A and B are shown apart, each in its own frame.
Chain A
């Protein structure tokens, strides 16, 4: 095995096949670039010469990349010591990075298809500190057994928890029926739009954009404009749905949520790129039951972890990094939330204290302002320029106002907060309704905000700040006095000295 120790005890190397991976990836990129270059050159230089140049370029590029990566591989060493994990690397500059083992909070294994074929994984070791990018240490790549060993060794500091009622092992596994929730997410229309945009962009690159537009216009020559728009939107949406199904399959195939001995939750998933996320339970501060509008309408919900120490770089933010359970039937989501927190019933299902009616008025006013602003603009322009705009304003108002009112009323009904056992529960949102259950000991401060409008209506917004998740969970527009009592009860002793009653 090439990961054997060489300089000093405990030092290991990355797997030698890493160099092969880099070479293969570069070949792929180089061939992709070489083909159009070859086509362009063959007209001027003749076919054989063009192929020769392209081949030479490919070989040179691949050779350079492989040589560079070989040097990197030679110079990269890591060691898991008793106290610290060290990584020495660097192509030209020597970089030395060292993490204290007790600060390590997550170990993620990922493998794109090529790595999987070669039996390798990329290991990302995170401390989850907020400062800069120095909190993550990446081993690219080691073999799968070594990755598993690292993960177990680094996270195995079993702080035994007193709760025998909850099982180790598998908590949830992939259920293909969940795919029915994929098309109702916001991904579908987004992908549809992207597909339409992509067709236009590619046809422009190929210089045939005009022809594509003409061709589409030809299809609809005898149909009215409205109908054509409806059909085109439907086609784009259908493409988006297909894309959403594909994306969902790629992301969630082989999904498994397990609790490992020693108190670590582990999510594994992915069809082509396999991903593994481990969260230490003592870093878990709660769960967030997320219900995007479409998903909520069909009675499903997603479970996210609220945890300290997940890396929060751009890449992971976009990739559902902290999701413990994808959109699944609500009952199952509740059961998993309870299981993850080692509770008998999930705190996110608790009966919530509703917020005062003044909060509904605020939501209605805000929604109507947003809906009516474009309408008023159109009326103004219509009066000044052309009466057509008056009709579009009417149509716009007829559609937007009821939607705005419905969303506002729903947003109000979503609002709520309560204390449930060891958890503080807040719920808000309509397009993305989120019910967060935060462990009361995880609250590390309060921020209370009150605008002058809120003051007149007797409302205020309470934000519990925490080291986990997105850093703050807010009960918007709660009743002023009841909200403060709630906050004081949630964390005994913290708010109490600053309150006056009477």
Chain B
């Protein structure tokens, strides 16, 4: 064991996501809260006797959603980071439940890029790196198209140079 020389921590990965990711996360939060708020609002407008009981939760929900949309993305932007070295892919995510994932280059099997409709709007892409483990996939969300393409190209090149079937 190398313990005994003080505390050991995982250092944050070097790269932050694209700042547009904050906007993308905010849009997700807003869409997520908009649906139930709209339903409650319309019902409240139509059903006069229950108006108070429908519009109050709608207002509360809208307030909470707005607050989350303002705060969480800022917080996430600080903790969602990524790094690719010649040996490994290293990603950290989460605020309340923090998570660090490391996948060595030699064990990478596939590299996928996904651009959802909302991501397209913000010019972002998600890169998913899978290994032979059913539970070892590493996702990097909120990269710009150029960075994602460059990353995929680099990962594919490195993994192709590595022999073995990655199990």
Interface residues of A (CB under 8 A from B): 103, 130, 308, 444-452, 455, 463, 465-468, 470-472, 480-482, 484-486, 488-489, 491, 493-495, 497-502
Contacts and interface: CB of A to CB of B under 8 A. Distances in A.
Contact of B99 (A103, A447, A491): A447
A471 B96 contact: no
B6 A445 contact: no
B35 interface: no
Contact of A465 (B8, B99, B133): B133
Ranked 3 nearest A-B pairs via Cβ: A465-B136, A467-B132, A471-B134
B102 A482 contact: no
12 contacts: A103-B165, A444-B136, A445-B102, A450-B97, A450-B98, A452-B96, A468-B167, A484-B10, A485-B1, A485-B2, A491-B104, A499-B9
A499 B6 CA distance: 12
Contacts of A491: 104
A202 to B, nearest CB: 40
A468 B134 CA distance: 9
B97 A444 contact: no
Contacts of B136: 444-445, 447, 465-466, 471-472
B104 A445 contact: yes
B11 interface: yes
* Chief secondary structure at chain A's binding surface: mixed
Contact of B166 (A103, A444, A446, A493): A444
Contacts of B101: 445-448
A448 B99 contact: yes
Interface of B: 1-3, 5-11, 13, 83, 85, 87-88, 90, 96-104, 107, 131-136, 138, 165-167
Given A444-B103, A495-B102, A498-B102, A465 B135 contact: yes
Contacts of A482: 1, 3
A97 B104 CA distance: 33
Given A444-B167, A481-B3, A485-B3, A500 B8 contact: yes
Nearest to B85: A497
A498 B13 contact: yes
B162 to A, nearest CB: 12
Nearest to B134: A471
A489 B2 contact: yes
B1 A497 contact: no
Contacts of A489: 1-2
Given A481-B8, A485-B2, A501-B8, A447 B100 contact: yes
A472 B3 CA distance: 24
A477 to B, nearest CB: 14
B10 A444 contact: no
Contact of B102 (A446, A486, A502): A446
B8 to A, nearest CB: 4
Nearest to B101: A447
Contact of A449 (B5, B90, B98, B165): B98
A471 B133 contact: yes
A501 B50 CA distance: 60
Nearest to A450: B98
Contacts of B2: 485, 488-489
Contacts of A446: 100-102
B131 A467 contact: yes
Q: Which of B5, B6, B7, B165 has the most A CB atoms < 10 Å from its CB?
A: B7
